[in-house]
Every structure is written in structure tokens, then in C-alpha cells.
């Protein structure tokens, strides 16, 4: 029996219209289809076997025959191909035909097993929910600042009472001294410091520690005690509490978290974790911290998904660990903060165990 492709056609049609992505899978094999709303193309990415550094030559030849291209990243085995996403049936049917051939003739999976489709299409109701989540995140940040402000007012009121009533009233004519006032102000500053974020980015040790994680649960456990500085947005997504104005390429300013930390949460995809920084100054500073502990330039690689060249760094002090740094306008193009087209400079830091 042949696998039912009607569901795929319907999903691809919706994907071309709304944007987002879908994952088509059978057993442990998957094909991912991406689209951006307003663009006339569908991008298809195949991960032949994410447990291997490269696919067998026979598989590589078959993908080349179907006109799939390597993504330029020598550490991954992904292949990709772009299709016109016109609603002309022939274009989408060509994509479906290629997908079917991949599963039937390259992966050699019995057609008794039907396709499983995981839908991450940006339907209007999905976009509405994401916007609501972003508003909730902004409210959370704003409320943090409001509570901090109320705390400051409370302390200031206590100081005012102490100066004008407790120490300067007719019953207590002894005025407060400058030393006493400075001591009170110092104590207030220390108390306020407990509630303010201490930093905006993770440090090299933390990123190296996180490289040992191979599951979202591991990351969640590690980030549990970082709540002073990072907001847990949702599964696999963290944002720095401090927000900043970042100019985009058209000259407008966006108010966004100073940095984010995203991990891959979807099934049948290779593990990926990225710390993205929205400040060149902080990016340069973090890279200097890595260089300080011995990381040195070791080569380049090209990321097709973010359309940028990345730089690899290694250190003799940390054998088996690689740092990848990429400057791009397009990180995590379909997730969270980056759900829409990104058009401001971002700096991606990825640390993995080789």
C-alpha cells in the first residue's frame, strides 16, 4: 500500500499561505519543510542520520540526484532544497514526490508505515497566542521593575520618616549625621541589588557545562537557579530579564531582551542549543572570556539556515569541546522572539561536545 499524501498536500498548502514549518517523519527519520509568510518558496531540510557525522556515500549520491545540496556545515549531514511555493499543484506535488522517494528508496522504509506530520504552522490563532505570550513577557519584566520601584519608595519613605520624624521631631532634637545617612543609603542599595539582574549573558563555564546536556530537562534543571537574570519564557526558551533598545537595519529601535538561550525541543531533530546576544559589545566581551581560557580560532563553516559564516574555536584546556560564533540577521528564524523576519544584528554562541 502507498502512504497517504493528501495530508501532506493540505499541510504544505497551509504552510505556504501562513508560514512556519512542519516535520514529516516515519520511525526515526524526518524531513522538515519551512516557509516564511509573504515569500514564494518552500525550503526542505533533510537530516539523513543525525547520529553520524556524515551520511554513507550511497545516500549522499541519492540526495544529490534529487538536487538536494549540502548545507555547507561539515559537522552536520543535513541536505536542503528550495521549491517554488506557488499554489500550482505541480510545484507542491513535486516536493511530495521527492519526500516519498526519500522515505521509499533512500531510507527504504516500508510503505505500510504512514507519514506522521507535526504541525508548527503560524495560523492566525497561533500568531495571536505568540503575541499574547510576548505581552505576558513584557508585563512580567515591567512588573519586576514596578516591584523594584515600590521597594525603593518603601525604603525612601523609611529614610524620610527616620530623618524628619524619628530623629528630628520635637521629642528627638538630635539630627541625623551624614555618616548615618550614607550608611542607610548603602544598606538600601544592597537590598535593591538583590532584586536586580546581575548580568545579561551566560559565561563560558556555564555554556561549557550546558554542552554536557542532551535533553531539555537537563537544561531546565541547570537554568533553575538563574532566575535572577533569565526569564523562563516557555519550554526550551530563556530570555535575559534586562531589555534593551536594538536598532534594526531600517533605523528603527526594538525593545528586546539583551540575550536569549534557546534549545531544540522537537523530535527527530539533531540537538542544538544557542546563546544569542543582541549587543556587539557584550558579544566581543564574551568571546574575549573564551579566549582568556585558551580558545583559539580553528576554522570556518557556513550555516545555510541562518545564511551566515560561523567561526570555530577550540582549547587544549577543554578537549572535545568546540565553540561556534556566528554573526547573523537570521537566528532561530521560526522560534519565539525570532518568529518573524529578523533584521537586526545578532551574535550566536554555540558550545558542543565533539
Ranges of each domain in the chain: 6-122, 128-193, 204-353
Give how far the C-alpha of residue 277 lies from the chain's centroid of Cα atoms, to the nearest Å. 10
- CA separation (Å) from 151 to 148, 157, 196, 199? 5, 10, 11, 21
Measured N-to-C along each axis, helices 178-193 and 124-161 cross at an angle, to the nearest 10 degrees, of 160
Q: Is the per-residue pLDDT at 42 higher than 80? A: yes
Span 169-191, average pLDDT: 58
Highest mean pLDDT, choosing among 110-114, 172-176, 202-206: 202-206
Place of cell 550566536: 348
Place of cell 552536520: 76
Residue 324's pLDDT is what?
A: 95
Phi, psi of 51, rounded to the nearest 5 degrees: -90, -10
HSE-up of residue 210 (Cα within 13 Å, Cβ side): 28
Place of cell 538561550: 261
At residue 314 the predicted structure's pLDDT band, cuts being 50, 70 and 90, is very high
Span 242-266, average pLDDT: 85
Pick the more confident residue, 13 or 314.
314
Span 77-100, average pLDDT: 79
Q: How confident is the prediction for the chain on average, in pLDDT?
A: 78
Q: Which helix (H) or strand (E) holds 254?
A: strand 253-257
Question: Are 200 and 282 spatial neighbours (Cβ–Cβ below 8 Å)?
Answer: yes
Question: Are 241 and 230 spatial neighbours (Cβ–Cβ below 8 Å)?
Answer: yes
Pick the more confident residue, 110 or 188.
110
- Nearest CA among 137, 120, 132, 116 for reference residue 265: 120
At residue 276 the predicted structure's pLDDT band, cuts being 50, 70 and 90, is very high
- Provide the residue count of the chain: 354
Pick the more confident residue, 141 or 296.
296
Could you write out the DSSP letters of every residue in 269-308?
Answer: S---EEEEES-HHHHHHHHHHHHHTT-EEEEEEEETTTTE
Residue 64's pLDDT is what?
A: 83
Dihedral sign from CA coordinates of 333, 339, 344, 349: negative
Q: Is the per-residue pLDDT at 162 higher than 50? A: yes
Pick the more confident residue, 331 or 291.
291
CB proximity list for 95: less than 8 A, separation 6 or greater = 12, 33, 42, 44, 83
Residue 208's pLDDT is what?
A: 96
Residue 75's pLDDT is what?
A: 40
At residue 332 the predicted structure's pLDDT band, cuts being 50, 70 and 90, is confident
Q: What percent of the chain is modeled with pLDDT above 70? A: 71
Q: State whether residue 95 is helix, strand or coil.
A: helix
End-to-end distance of the chain based on CA atoms, in angstroms?
Answer: 42
Measured CA to CA, the distance from residue 151 to residue 156 in angstroms comes to 9
Highest mean pLDDT, choosing among 137-141, 199-203, 227-231: 199-203
Looking at 3.30.1460, 1.10.10, 3.40.228, 1.10.600, the CATH number of the domain 6-122 comes to 3.30.1460
At residue 325 the predicted structure's pLDDT band, cuts being 50, 70 and 90, is very high
Measured CA to CA, the distance from residue 8 to residue 83 in angstroms comes to 15
Amino acid at each position: 500500500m502507498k502512504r497517504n499524501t493528501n495530508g501532506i498536500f493540505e499541510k504544505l498548502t497551509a504552510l505556504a499561505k501562513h508560514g512556519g514549518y512542519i516535520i514529516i517523519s516515519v520511525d526515526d527519520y524526518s524531513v522538515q519543510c519551512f516557509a516564511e509568510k509573504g515569500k514564494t518558496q518552500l525550503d526542505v531540510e533533510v537530516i539523513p542520520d543525525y547520529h553520524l557525522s556524515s551520511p554513507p556515500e550511497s545516500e549522499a549520491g541519492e540526495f544529490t540526484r534529487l538536487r538536494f545540496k549540502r548545507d555547507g556545515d561539515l559537522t552536520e549531514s543535513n541536505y536542503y532544497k528550495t521549491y517554488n511555493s506557488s499554489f500550482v499543484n505541480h510545484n507542491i506535488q513535486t516536493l511530495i514526490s521527492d519526500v516519498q522517494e526519500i522515505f521509499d528508496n533512500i531510507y527504504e522504509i516500508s510503505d505500510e508505515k504512514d507519514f506522521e506530520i507535526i504541525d508548527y504552522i503560524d495560523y492566525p490563532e497561533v500568531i495571536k497566542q505568540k503575541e499574547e505570550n510576548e505581552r505576558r513577557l513584557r508585563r512580567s519584566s515591567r512588573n519586576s521593575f514596578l516591584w523594584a520601584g515600590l521597594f525603593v519608595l518603601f525604603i525612601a519613605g523609611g529614610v524620610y520618616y527616620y530623618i524628619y520624624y524619628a530623629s528630628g521631631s520635637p521629642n528627638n532634637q538630635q539630627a541625623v549625621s551624614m555618616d548615618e545617612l550614607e550608611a542607610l543609603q548603602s544598606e538600601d542599595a544592597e537590598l535593591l541589588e538583590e532584586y536586580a539582574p546581575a548580568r545579561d549573558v551566560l559565561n563560558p563555564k556555564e555554556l561549557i557545562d550546558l554542552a554536557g546536556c542532551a535533553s531539555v530537562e537537563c537544561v531546565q534543571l541547570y537554568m533553575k537557579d538563574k532566575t535572577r537574570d533569565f526569564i523562563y519564557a516557555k519550554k526550551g526558551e530563556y530570555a535575559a530579564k534586562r531589555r534593551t533598545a536594538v536598532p534594526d537595519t531600517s533605523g528603527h529601535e526594538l525593545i528586546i531582551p539583551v540575550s536569549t538561550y534557546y534549545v531544540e525541543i522537537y523530535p527527530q531533530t539533531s540537538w542544538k542549543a544557542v546563546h544569542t546576544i543582541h549587543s556587539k559589545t557584550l558579544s566581543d566581551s564574551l568571546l574575549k572570556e573564551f579566549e582568556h581560557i585558551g580558545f583559539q580560532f580553528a576554522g570556518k563553516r557556513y550555516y545555510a539556515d541562518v545564511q551566515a559564516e560561523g567561526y570555530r574555536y577550540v582549547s587544549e584546556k577543554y578537549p572535545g569541546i568546540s565553540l561556534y560564533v556566528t554573526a547573523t540577521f537570521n537566528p532561530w528564524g521560526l522560534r519565539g522572539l525570532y518568529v518573524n523576519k529578523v533584521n537586526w544584528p545578532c551574535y550566536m554562541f554555540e558550545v558542543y561536545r565533539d
